[in-house]
Structure formats: structure tokens, C-alpha cells
Chain A
């Protein structure tokens, strides 16, 4: 599947989405009522049924599903990555709590399942499980001998990659959210995943701080500029291109605004102008360190740029992120 064709599809925003739904409130009533009657396990299907009512056999609905399928691809990337994490014993040696890594791994698997359910209930087909063999997290394009070799034995390399994937995921959901705005329930669900990814990103950065000093209490380690190995829990500037600029610079740099929704752009993470307002000129903030203005806002990234970055971590023959 060509990601650029997805971009073309999602330009067609459904102007009659509310007509397809009874009404926004009615849908929520419907959902709430279902929530009281059905078991929790059945809920994704129930939610999907409502979406289905609105979007079944709708070409525009397919666009929403395409965006969700894009999110699903990223979740697969993360889920397989964490599934291949170093053995718990190694984490312990490095003072990284194995329970934390297991928790994040579970979250990513959960996101995969949830998105598959929602996409299916929209009347669309979720992308097929690519399988672990689709990915080469060493960035070796299938050689499994790339620059990140040993990521599943070396906690330092593993957490470096984890930060890249989490920060990338947070930017990707931000870029995709406006494309889901026609379906409020889907939008909200996507944002509820987005903030979980942001928590992961923060935590992975915290763990990297702890790792840098071998601290068993990572939250008690003070970040050190330029934050490539002892990062803050949030993105400061572009973090000098990130921990491995060859691979990570693109994650913190500007995206491609071509085809973006009107009035939305994807500047680099060190952007300090939001909504036309220069943050450094805000009253009450003049004495703040310059880094604070970029840290206070994360940035989105377009689907094309995210896909191009993700493509680094699949085998050469795979079209999963094409």
C-alpha cells in the first residue's frame, strides 16, 4: 500500500459525517448505554457497531480507517520491538525495572488489538499482522547487523531505540489527529492512545537518565545538556538531533507540509512560535531559559515523514511502510 495514496484519500474529509450519525450526543448515549449492558470484553465490538452504522460502505469512512491503519502499523512496530526486549535479568543489571518494560510492551500489544477492533468495526480491514520477521530493529534492512546490533542484549541501545519510537509515535498521532476530527469517538480514542505514548516517551527518557548514572531511582537523576545521553523527560529543542543523529535527527526535525490540512504545519521540535505567537515574547516568560519555549509544546509530524523514518526498521523487501 502506498502511503502517499493514503494522504490523497484523507484529503477528502467527510462533510456529512454528522448526518450519518444520529447525532453526536445520541451516539454517546448509545455508547454509554451499551457500556452498562455489555461485558468489558465485548465493548470494542459494540463501539465498532456504532461506527459501522455511520460509516459502513462509506468511502470517506475508509479514509478514517486508513489513518487508523497507519497508526496500527506504528503500533506493530512498537509491539514487536518491545516483545524482543532484552531479558529481564539484563534489565536488572542496568537498574531498569523489568516490570516497567513489560508494562510498556503490554500497552503496545493492547493498542494493536484495540485498533484492529475499531478498524474492523468501521467496515474496513485492518492491516495484516506483519510478523516479527518484517522488522530489523538493528536498522540493517534485513541483515540484522545494522548500527543498532545487540539492541535486544544491550539495554543502552534498546532504550535509545525505544525513545526514538516513542517520540516518533507521539509526533505521528499528533499529525494524524486532525484527520480523524470528523469522527469524534475515534478522535478521542486516538488521543487516549496518544497520551499513553507520551507517558511512555517520558518514562523511557527518564530511564535513560537513570541508566547514564547507573541509578536505581531514575527519576532522581538530573538531566544534563545537551540531553543526548542524559535527556530530559520532554523534548528540549531538537535534543541536538537526538541520541543518534544519523537515525534520529529526522524524528526531531521538521516534517513535510505538502498536503497537510490547512493551517497545520509540522515544524521541528525546537519550534517556539505557536499559532503565530512567539512564546519568547509572552508576558511573564521573559526570564525563562530559551529551552523552555520549545519544551512546552510538542510538534506533530506528517504521515509521509513518519513512514519514511519507520521504513528504516523494516526489511528491504517489506512494503509495510511504503
Chain B
């Protein structure tokens, strides 16, 4: 460095202190050592004396993410960082005594730290970060809008995260939260038709429309119309069975001509029975039950033994059902009709049993040949050696028939007896 002083060139100076400079004076070819006392000199490029910041207070004392906090203190100018705990915030230096900052997302309740080049200060009290505002869930839709117990329903809406409960018509179900906008649940067996209610820690949502719980059973009703619907239900089962038999490879492939002939006739007869009872119920001014959904998963329609064994069960059951329900019919005409059908069912049963094993058209399993009956139908408690066919109560019959009916089509015969 070189500068000129009083016509001399000061070749070099030596820093001695804040206000004293030592230098060599060059004059001509000689240099004179000396010193120059400078008063009131300041170094232009250095800041004023650096003071660490302090924090006096902040307001508000708590807030949620996104809130603006005003911090008051001293020596805040030049702040390089404002931290909430260890999380940096977006801040603005308003003045040497005031800074504002925004509560960052993800921040936790912690003291506030302000850093300046001169140092840092941390508040003695923590700033309390409050949770996001409580946003209650909403239900926008659900599908399906009606279902049987056991079915899975999907609910669409908002703010489902953390859902703790879901009720169907007031009956608790178990919610599975797939996302904040989707919940699934399985319709409980005890559920009743009504609105859906989803509960989260933030509140509850109630659907504007009701979810319809479809009945898991079909009630055949009471009185003569109930008996007719009971018969209609059993004929539906038989007709559906023989309809399906004719699609299996036992019927289409391996059955004998005689077996096909029998199965064809049984199919015709049972379909006629089914359609007859439906028409008769309507003609009587009553309402036929719905078309039942069968469940023949236990039957192998490609296997002769499986088909004929099931056919034997259905035919024997049909005879026992008519025998057992006749006593509940009040109309002589309907009673007469029932007897016209039951003997055809008995004829069916006899030939099917013979197809299973020759000579088994009747047996102790369905008649009191050599053993007494212990049926719930007391009148059927015939002694051994009376050769009376069994009669089964409607309750006994549906306990068997319901094994072949899907949920929603299982029969309820409580009105008959």
C-alpha cells in the first residue's frame, strides 16, 4: 500500500492500534521513520461495534402452522435466521427491535432462536405450536347404496384420516380407512337401514341418504299365502337345481338315455310347479316372494353321484315338506292342490333313489319301516313298523334348504307355525 502525505510518499504504514499509524517517510532516496497521530480516525469498512441480539417477548404465544408471530427484542437488525426449535422460519426484520416470522409446517412447540452475525438469542419461553384446525369429515357418497349383511361398502368423502367409528343405522361397523377420502366397511349382520355416520377425532359426518340393509332372509309370510310362498320357495329351489343339472357334463355327457329322460321330466315338472305357485299366489291376491338366489356350490354338476345324491335330497325333502305343512293350510282347495303336487314329488323321489341304488325307492331314512319317527312334527311320531313317510316342520325343512340358498334368499318360516 502507498499513499501520499504532505507531499511525501508514505511507502508503508504499520498498524499500531486503532488510532495510530506507524509509517516510513520517503524523501528523495531516504526514508525517515516517524509516527503520525491521527485523531478521530475511523475505519470506513468496519461496522459499528457488534452487539448480540436479545429477545424480550413474542406475540402471540401460540399458533398453528402458517401463523405470523411478532418477536420483540434488541439488536435484531441483520438477523440471519429465526428458528423455531431447529426449524427455520421465513422471517422479516421490521426493525432492530422487531422481527416477524411465519410458523413453519412441521414445527413443534419450542423456544425461538434469533441469530445475527453478532450472536444469537433464544427465548426463555417456548412458542406453542397448536394443531391444525379441527376439520370435521364429510360424506359425499357411498356405494353400493343397498347391500346384504356381509357385503363391503365404499364410502367417499373428506377428512376420513384417523376415523375411529362408523355406524350403519346406528349399528357399529368396523371402518377401514383406505385414504383421507375413502373408507370401506363390511355391513354387520345386525345392521339396519339408516344413514351412515363416520366419526374422526375432528368430528362426525352423517350421510344425507340412508344406506339400505337388504334382508338376509326371505319371510314367506303366514296363513295360506305363507304356505303357498313356502311351496313356491321349495319349487324354485328344485327347478333351479334341475335347470343347472341340464348344463352339467353328467347330464350332457355321461348320463344314460333313461337318466336323461327322468331328469328332463323332473325339470319340466318342477318348473311347472314353480310357475304355478307364483301364478296361484298372485291369483289369490297375495305377493309372491322374490326370485331366490341359490347356492349349489356343494354340488358337482359334472358328477353323477353328486347330482343324483342332491336330487334325492331335494325330492325327499320336498315330500316331507308338503307332508308337514299340509296341516297349516286352512283352505280345502289349497290342501287338495298340495296333495296333487306331493304325490308327484314322491314319484320323483322313488325313481331318483332307484337311480342311486335299485330298490331303494323307500327306506328307513324317510319312513317308519323298522324304526320309529322322532320328527318335530308330533303327528309324524309314528311307531316302527307303520310305514308312514316322515313329515318335516317348515323349520326343519328350511334348516336343510337354506344350505342351498344364498344370503338374502334364505327362508324365514317363522310366520307359518
Contact = CB atoms under 8 A, between A and B. Distances in A.
A245 interface: no
Contacts of A234: 265, 269, 344, 347-348
B280 to A, nearest CB: 5
A275 B333 contact: yes
Nearest to B342: A195
Contact of A262 (B332, B347, B348): B332
B258 interface: yes
24 contacts: A30-B378, A31-B379, A35-B381, A40-B372, A99-B359, A106-B369, A113-B386, A174-B339, A177-B336, A178-B332, A185-B379, A188-B323, A188-B380, A193-B389, A202-B346, A202-B350, A202-B351, A206-B351, A261-B336, A277-B276, A288-B268, A292-B272, A296-B341, A300-B339
Contacts of B382: 43-44, 114, 189, 192
Interface in A274-303: 274-277, 279, 282-285, 288-289, 292-293, 295-300
Contacts of B49: none
Contacts of B283: 275-277
A293 B273 CA distance: 9
Interface in B373-398: 374, 376-391
B327 interface: yes
B388 A35 contact: no
Given A114-B386, A199-B346, A202-B347, A184 B379 contact: yes
A222 B257 contact: yes
A297 B280 CA distance: 14
B175 interface: no
A293 B276 CA distance: 10
A246 interface: no
A177 B327 CA distance: 10
B266 to A, nearest CB: 10
Contacts of A195: 319, 322-323, 342-343, 345-346, 389
B383 A44 contact: yes
A35 B257 CA distance: 46
Contacts of A219: 258, 262, 351, 354-355, 358
B339 A196 contact: no
B340 A274 contact: yes
Given A103-B362, A188-B327, A195-B389, A293 B272 contact: yes
Interface string B299-336: 00000000000000000000100111011010111011
A198 B347 contact: yes
Given A191-B391, A275-B333, A41 B383 contact: yes
Contacts of A28: 377-379
Contacts of A292: 265, 268-269, 272
A206 B265 contact: no
Interface of A: 24, 27-32, 34-35, 40-44, 47, 97, 99-100, 103, 106-108, 110-111, 113-114, 170, 173-174, 177-178, 181, 184-189, 191-203, 206, 217-223, 232-234, 261-264, 274-277, 279, 282-285, 288-289, 292-293, 295-300
Given A35-B374, A196-B367, A199-B349, A188 B326 contact: yes
A217 B262 CA distance: 14
B33 interface: no
Contacts of B342: 191, 194-195, 198
A300 B336 contact: yes
Contacts of B329: 181
B350 A189 contact: no
Contact of B261 (A114, A200, A223): A223
Contacts of A186: 379
B337 interface: yes
Nearest to A264: B336
A152 to B, nearest CB: 21
A96 to B, nearest CB: 10
Interface in B263-313: 265, 268-269, 271-276, 279-280, 283
B86 interface: no
B273 to A, nearest CB: 6
B143 interface: no
A40 B358 CA distance: 29
A202 B387 contact: no
Contacts of B340: 174, 274, 297-300
A290 to B, nearest CB: 10
Given A188-B323, A206-B354, A288-B268, A297 B378 contact: no
A193 B362 CA distance: 12
B326 A187 contact: yes
B269 A192 contact: no
Contact of A203 (B339, B361, B372): B361
Contacts of B374: 35
B145 interface: no
A193 B380 CA distance: 11
Contacts of B355: 219-220
Question: Quick one: which of B280, B335, B348, B387 has the most chain A CB within 10 A?
Answer: B387
Given A177-B326, A297-B340, A43 B383 contact: yes
B358 A218 contact: yes
Contacts of A184: 327, 379
A228 B101 CA distance: 107
Given A177-B335, A193-B389, 15 more contacts: A28-B378, A29-B378, A30-B378, A97-B359, A191-B323, A191-B339, A194-B343, A195-B322, A198-B346, A233-B350, A275-B280, A275-B333, A283-B275, A284-B271, A297-B340
A103 B385 CA distance: 11
Nearest to A205: B347
A200 B95 CA distance: 113
A145 B336 CA distance: 39
A187 B272 CA distance: 26
Contacts of B275: 279, 282-285
B146 to A, nearest CB: 27
Contacts of B124: none
Contact of B323 (A192, A261, A282): A192
Interface in B33-70: none
